[in-house]
Structure 1
Amino acid sequence: MTCAAARGFSVGTVTPSDYATAPQSCHSPAAIPESSRAARCRRGGAPASCQGSSTGGLAVAIFHCNISVASRAVGASAVAGAAYISRSAIEFEREGTMFDFTKAHRHERLVADLGIALPDNAPKRFGERGALWNEVERVEKKADAQLCRRIEWALPDELPDDEKIRLARKHVAQRAAAGHVVDACIHCNVDGTNWHVHELEPLRPVGENGFLAKSENVYVCRKLGEKDDRKASAKEFAFLKAEGWEKVYRYRIGGETRWLTPTEAAARVRGKLGQSADPEDVSELTRKSRQGRNPKQETRYLTDWNEPTKAEEWRSEIAALINDALEENGFDGRVDHRSYERQGIERVPQVHEGSRVRAMENRAKAEAEAAG
């Protein structure tokens, strides 16, 4: 296994308890001095770019956070993603290839490698990038498997550089404390602007011996006299069965198909045949009425990370951390993770063009100026 870090920084591994104070490794020649824009954003006079619709007397700053999932179905690789954000070279063991991003990038450069933050119960070997992301590629076996979650969010221009790094570390520590394994780095444009955080997180929960299952199949169980059904794994059902709980099967009785327990199905058959019917006839007809051998099953996810509301929750957490940092450093600007429409602001949202589009525009402008 090979993980060659780019010259000038090292990969670190820490736990949530000490992550916020762990030393970072910077990949910039020198700290970028605090801009005059940041100085003007302090209390007493925010520039137009830092102002927005007034909310409680505070200016609304710009918020950017993108959450997505890397999928093998579209050619993504967790190993490649980790090598890219860390500007390092990592061997992809499954294919025997090397992803090398140590050379300078045209549009972005690495500012700080924040390393890998692990939950307290995670194996220490996951602190090495090659080991972590090759293990992710190994356990996700499907050809169209989802591999990892990508969280990219912007750091406020108003903050000094050391406060930006501190803010990023605080969020990573928060994620690790919630059970996520987090690989994080800070990038900026080649001119030192647009500081933003790249975070990669495996989608599976982690235990002492490695990654756990994302989900498990559970049986739908029912008991006479109980109002609600229960969901139980195979191990859990062994205990419930002793208490009178039964699995639910599909039965077709009297032209009607329903999910019933064997006891409920037998009662319905007896009702059709009459209470004086032979028990053996009831048992035989009940058996023949069952549609298939498999009981009703559902999928139970072991975490709530895939719930539709989670992205909104995570974005709001980042916004809260940014606002706390702005307040601690004496800035009036605030961010809001909600859309303008939800905030009640009548403004047309900006269209994100990206660095490549901006580069094309700059080249076209330069060519036009050269042509006179």
Structure 2
Amino acid sequence: MAIYHFSCGNISRGEGQSATAAAAYRSGESLYSERYGKTNYYEREVKPDAFILKPENAPDWVLDRERLWNEVEKVEKAKNARLAKHFDIALPIELSHDQQRELVIEFCKENFCDLGMVADVAIHRDDENNPHFHVMTTTRPFNDDGTWASKSKKEYILDKDGNFTYTKSGHKRSRKIEPVDWNSKERLMSWRKSWADKANEFLSKNGHEIRISEKSNEERGIDRKPTIHEGYKARKMGEKSERVQYNKNVKEYNDNLIKISEYKKEIKQVKEIEKITRNFSPKEKKQLAILSKELKTFVNFDFVQKKEKQLAHWERSELFKSQFGLENKENLSKINNQKELVSKAESLLKKEADRFVNSHYKDAIPNDVKLSNYQKQYITDLSVKRNKILDQNELKEAIFDSENKEFYSSINKITRDSFTSYSNFKKTLERNEKMLEKLVKEYDVDFKNPKTIEKLDAEDLNKLKTATIRVNNTKNALKFIEGYYESKIEELYPEHAKELNEKMPIHEKEIVVASHEYYGRVLQKNELMRLKDNPPVKYSDEDKSYAILKLKGYGLNHENKNKLGKSECIEELKGKFPEIFGAYAKPGMEQLFFSELSSVSKEYKEIVDKYLAVTRSEYSGSTIKDDLTNEDYYVMSNNRKTANIGGLLAGGFSTINKTLNELDYAERDKINEMNRLQAKAARRNRRNSGLER
């Protein structure tokens, strides 16, 4: 598990230390010390990953480790000279070696080299459970010409009239001024925080939820005691080491705290169960208890949703095996039994949700809003989790969120994959059609002639079937999205629906539907026609000025390769405009917002265009230089989070069934024929193996 360990100190001649010896120990290299006339070498079982990073104004010779630290020993003449700063930092064990190295390089460049320090880095992996790195940095900056600069300069202390002041012995009073703040407490605290931020950035982008913090357990309100750094030698000593023994005792103490915490969670869970069942009748409670026992878990809304997905996946797997006579009849029986139990549980939850919503939210829900069973269960479950009746704003948000989740769940059943944008589906369809075309050509198949299919062996037949199903699933998704937008436009613009649906491409239909949510009203036809160049005004000048400032900041941070700065800009935009940039913002909202910003002035438009070009180049890997005057301005963003597409309203659910029913019959016949042939092959295999008489 990733831990936070960050120690910093100095390598000082006054303490009898040598820069060349310290560098040799950390790097695992043999280094000759000119000052002491001896070679330093410390053998290591695992060779460190050692390298040197330098600021732009430092000369190239600093990349030679032996010369670098010998030059430091020469320039630092005082008998108590501070030769180098050294850092010992633990690496997140969750990251791969390459990811750890990239993390170290970024951190050192941003925190040391950018300040003018040379960083001699050594990553140690003697113990795979304790990856860490050492950094030795120079304490003296370089001049622009590559020569050593002064560590400090003398500043005379003057009186109020600008005259010198003197000590009792007659010497001019002075003080030492350091040109850099590398030795300040503030800089150390900045480095500590920067390491936590950079490590967490890498953990996040590589899919790990764990985070580290530079703050102490006490600062974070955590009772657990911190362990101490053991070091390689202490680990090799094992139980004999006081450090290892101390950490062992601390871990036992912390384990007991965790057990107490888990016990408290169990008590809390029991209380939640009592709350959630308060609307069940005695008979229903008994039925639910029986179902919970048979399903071996407590039954609630989240469980039913998850269980349905698990059973669908399990069933698909077993049905696939059955095509080749490999099915497990016992598993299929279990699946059917579990499906029946889940269906009963869902029925009970629906009844409870109906009663709960009618009892507590009947007057709060607008007359024109008709909640689905899914939404009622979602609102009931949310109320129970929060242990309160939702206020008007919370209820509105819950209705919105449940629309998102229900739609996403429904469309996912069609595609069997995460929902992506319409343009991604088109690309997927092209790719799948090419694959199918390739297989048809390779196997010399004619779907009108069953004999050309029957000649295939089981493996090739399955490949062909899978490719055909993928093509049809993708067509299904495309038809569904098109059908939804067209039905929504018919609802919003009955007088112009036919004209709009015939003339507008899908990405513009998305914008039209999104405009209703964006402005909170149905736009007039002339307003629709000028949505891009002169859209109606929604946001105040102050709001738009704030947004432009953050978008401009994002672009500048991109140029300076400041990932943290970019992230901060986005988070601030999400906080100010969650309906535009938030996780559940509806499709098309960003484009409408950018359109409104761009219509303010040429300067605003240039900033918006630059932001869009940057974000798209980050996603696609190549910069888009268009001025975004074509349809690309409106096209659905490919890098939009999957949750965003769930913003489509639940009113289009009937389109799902309609789309499925309209599936091309010729395509369906292909799949049916392959199913028949696979079933025939499976029966033949069972007869040959003696499993069927």
Structure 2 length normalisation: TM-score? 0.33
2:171 counterpart (294, 300, 308) = 294
Does 168-177 or 202-211 show the bigger shift?
202-211
**How far 1:149 moved relative to its partner?**
0.5
- CA deviations on 1:315-344 (whole Å, 9 max, x unpaired) are 111111000001101111110011111222
Higher relative contact order (CA 8 A, sep 6+): 1
1:187 counterpart (121, 124, 127) = 124
- CA deviations on 1:217-260 (whole Å, 9 max, x unpaired) are 11122454xxxxxxxxxxxxxxxxxxxx322235xxxxxxxxxx
Do residues 357 (structure 1) and 263 (structure 2) align? no
Note the residue ranges of structure 1 that are not aligned, 5 or more in a row: 1-49, 51-60, 225-244, 251-290, 365-372
Report if aligned partners of 2:20, 2:69 keep a CA contact under 8 Å in 1.
Answer: yes
Do residues 104 (structure 1) and 41 (structure 2) align? no
1:220 counterpart (148, 157, 172) = 157
Q: Distance in 1 between matches of 2:146 and 2:101?
A: 31
Match of 2:248 in 1: none
Q: Distance in 2 between matches of 1:120 and 1:352?
A: 34
SS at match of 1:110: coil
Which stretches of structure 1, 4 residues or more, deviate above 4 A after TM superposition?
A: none
Are the structure 2 counterparts of residues 353 and 185 from structure 1 closer, same or farther at C-alpha, using a change threshold of 3 Å? closer
Q: Distance in 2 between matches of 1:363 and 1:343?
A: 33
**How far 1:363 moved relative to its partner?**
7.9
Q: Distance in 1 between matches of 2:147 and 2:20?
A: 17
Q: Distance in 1 between matches of 2:117 and 2:104?
A: 15
Are the structure 2 counterparts of residues 292 and 354 from structure 1 closer, same or farther at C-alpha, using a change threshold of 3 Å? closer
Are the structure 2 counterparts of residues 125 and 361 from structure 1 closer, same or farther at C-alpha, using a change threshold of 3 Å? closer
1:1-372 counterparts in 2 under 5 A?
50=1, 61-101=2-42, 103-105=43-45, 109-113=46-50, 115-174=51-110, 175-190=112-127, 192-207=128-143, 208-224=145-161, 245-249=162-166, 291-361=168-238
**How far 1:298 moved relative to its partner?**
1.1
Report if aligned partners of 2:118, 2:138 keep a CA contact under 8 Å in 1.
Answer: yes
**How far 1:187 moved relative to its partner?**
0.7
1:326 alignment partner AA: L
SS at match of 2:24: helix
**How far 1:142 moved relative to its partner?**
2.0
Q: Distance in 2 between matches of 1:118 and 1:354?
A: 28
**How far 1:90 moved relative to its partner?**
1.1
SS at match of 1:201: strand
Q: Distance in 2 between matches of 1:178 and 1:345?
A: 35
Structure 1 length normalisation: TM-score? 0.60
2:140 alignment partner AA: R
Are the structure 2 counterparts of residues 111 and 332 from structure 1 closer, same or farther at C-alpha, using a change threshold of 3 Å? same
SS at match of 1:69: strand
Report if aligned partners of 2:14, 2:79 keep a CA contact under 8 Å in 1.
Answer: yes
Q: Distance in 2 between matches of 1:172 and 1:354?
A: 22
SS at match of 2:214: coil
Q: Distance in 1 between matches of 2:226 and 2:38?
A: 42
Are the structure 2 counterparts of residues 76 and 343 from structure 1 closer, same or farther at C-alpha, using a change threshold of 3 Å? same
SS at match of 2:155: strand
Whose strand proportion is higher, 1 or 2?
A: 1
Are the structure 2 counterparts of residues 99 and 149 from structure 1 closer, same or farther at C-alpha, using a change threshold of 3 Å? same
1:77 alignment partner AA: S
Report if aligned partners of 1:204, 1:211 keep a CA contact under 8 Å in 2.
Answer: yes
Are the structure 2 counterparts of residues 350 and 193 from structure 1 closer, same or farther at C-alpha, using a change threshold of 3 Å? closer
**How far 1:169 moved relative to its partner?**
1.0
Q: Distance in 1 between matches of 2:60 and 2:71?
A: 13
1:210 alignment partner AA: T
Q: Distance in 2 between matches of 1:187 and 1:140?
A: 28
Q: Distance in 2 between matches of 1:212 and 1:195?
A: 35
Report if aligned partners of 2:27, 2:48 keep a CA contact under 8 Å in 1.
Answer: no
Q: Distance in 2 between matches of 1:85 and 1:357?
A: 17
Report if aligned partners of 1:150, 1:198 keep a CA contact under 8 Å in 2.
Answer: yes
**How far 1:198 moved relative to its partner?**
1.0
Whose helix proportion is higher, 1 or 2?
A: 2
Report if aligned partners of 2:10, 2:85 keep a CA contact under 8 Å in 1.
Answer: yes
1:67 alignment partner AA: C
Report if aligned partners of 2:156, 2:172 keep a CA contact under 8 Å in 1.
Answer: yes
Q: Distance in 1 between matches of 2:17 and 2:229?
A: 22
Q: Distance in 2 between matches of 1:77 and 1:184?
A: 17
Q: Which has the larger radius of gyration?
A: 2
2:121 alignment partner AA: A
Q: Distance in 1 between matches of 2:154 and 2:47?
A: 43
Match of 1:263 in 2: none
Q: Distance in 1 between matches of 2:32 and 2:140?
A: 22
Q: Distance in 2 between matches of 1:151 and 1:351?
A: 16
Number of aligned residues: 239
Note the residue ranges of structure 2 that are not aligned, 5 or more in a row: 242-693
Q: Distance in 1 between matches of 2:41 and 2:232?
A: 22
Q: Tell me how large the CA RMSD over aligned residues is.
A: 2.0
Q: Distance in 2 between matches of 1:104 and 1:296?
A: 52
1:89 alignment partner AA: S
Q: Distance in 1 between matches of 2:49 and 2:39?
A: 23
2:116 alignment partner AA: G
Q: Distance in 2 between matches of 1:297 and 1:71?
A: 25
Q: Distance in 2 between matches of 1:304 and 1:363?
A: 41
Are the structure 2 counterparts of residues 294 and 74 from structure 1 closer, same or farther at C-alpha, using a change threshold of 3 Å? closer
Report if aligned partners of 1:340, 1:349 keep a CA contact under 8 Å in 2.
Answer: yes
**How far 1:312 moved relative to its partner?**
1.4
Are the structure 2 counterparts of residues 165 and 222 from structure 1 closer, same or farther at C-alpha, using a change threshold of 3 Å? same
